[in-house]
Amino acid sequence: MINNIPLTKIMPKLSDLYDICLIEVSDITIHNAGPHGQICEITLPEETRVAVSNGVVDLGNGYESTPRKELEQNRTEWFYKQMNEYRETEETQIATQDNPFRFSAGGALGITTDGYFVFIERDQGAPTYKGYLTAATGLSENMDAIYDPSKIVAHELQEELTLLDEDGNICVWKHEGMSDEDYALMEELAKLRAEKTELDYSGIIPHEVTSIDIGSENTYILIVKNSNGDELSRNKGIVNFDPATSGIDFLNIVKLDFSYEDVKSGKYRVVDTETFGGNNRTERNIVYVHKDELLNSSTKSISGIVYNHWTGTKSKEKEFDREMFTPVANEMINAYM
């Protein structure tokens, strides 16, 4: 069986079969473009190793996938060596043939109009960071999200922070600049997640969401190109490198067009509609934490307010250790602050 897979031939078929899709990338550069900001360029190979699960999967036509863990190598020493070079020369290669990274993953951290971050509490069955607070993040599920990582942001926000109004409508997140075609896909996703989780709803309506420009040192213009050098997508956001698993996350902080008071009054509710193992609901808690709680570094714990549509929990106060945030959530919190 062949491990290196031509992306243009085999990949379009994967989205119908698998829940994740990661590829190995060996050409990633970052450089400082002065007034234009920092730029991260990812060039996709013609063919490469592909992970669609934690094991080996027969993809047909003589191709088989690579176990996900094989793409998650620890490249910490290499990464920090390259970042030291970047600080000196303002340009460096993050991924090479000898030190490839996996691509792609990402998501969004939402903040309400009255200053509450909206987190998801990872359940005790999670493979990592059990009980930690995290943002709406995940892995790409098809090649569209690899060609354009902003699609991961939209997908994860819709799936993990599904908004319902008081009339039972699912408010589908409509991002600024989103095409009608992409918005239609989000409507289909909302219906699919509602079906899989048995979420009752009365209709589908659009709801605006905007990205917050934080001007952080971790903010990049992320450019994805094909092997011919043609630009496939260009997005601005946080690029978070995870050298311990040779990963890259594309992240946005977004302003959610509702307040915590709206949640408290019942005007809106946020529901996690992610599933595992098919149609099994994760039933994770949604946790609201005011930004002032995070700014007060003198306390060892942080107070959050827990809601859970599935269990009927409302306005339950809960203390969290200040260290109980996933690395990706911490990255976005620090960038915002």
pLDDT above 60 for 17: no
Size (the chain), residues = 337
CB 116 within 8 A of CB 272: no
Pairing of strands 136-139, 101-111: antiparallel
Q: Residue 200: which pLDDT band, with cuts at 50, 70 and 90?
A: very high
CB 74 within 8 A of CB 245: yes
Q: What type of residue is 279?
A: N
Distances from the Cα of 17 to the Cα of 24, 54, 104, 157, 243, angstroms: 20, 14, 18, 22, 29
What percent of the chain shows pLDDT beyond 70? 96
- Please give the model's pTM, rounded to 2 decimal places: 0.90
Residues 6+ apart with CB under 8 A from 204: 169, 170, 172, 187, 190, 191
Q: What is the mean pLDDT of residues 6-20?
A: 67
Q: What is the mean pLDDT of residues 20-26?
A: 91
The pLDDT, as a whole number, for residue 278 is 62
Question: Please, what is the angle between helix 150-160 and helix 180-197, to 10°?
Answer: 30
The pLDDT, as a whole number, for residue 16 is 55
| 267: helix, strand or coil | coil
DSSP string spanning 191-219? HHHHHHHT---SEEEEEEEEE-----TTE
Q: What is the dihedral of CA 299, 216, 107, 143, to 10 degrees?
A: -160
pLDDT tens per residue across span 249-264 = 999 999 999 999 999 9
pLDDT tens per residue across span 128-178 = 788 999 999 998 888 888 999 999 999 999 999 999 999 999 999 999 889
Q: What is the mean pLDDT of residues 123-131?
A: 80
CB 222 within 8 A of CB 211: no
Q: Residue 277: which pLDDT band, with cuts at 50, 70 and 90?
A: low
pLDDT tens per residue across span 64-88 = 889 999 999 999 999 999 999 999 9
**Hey, how many other C-beta atoms are within 10 angstroms of the C-beta on 194?**
18
**Hey, how many other C-beta atoms are within 10 angstroms of the C-beta on 273?**
24
What's the rounded Cα separation, in Å, for the pair 150 and 173? 13
What's the rounded Cα separation, in Å, for the pair 275 and 153? 18
Q: Residue 26: which pLDDT band, with cuts at 50, 70 and 90?
A: very high
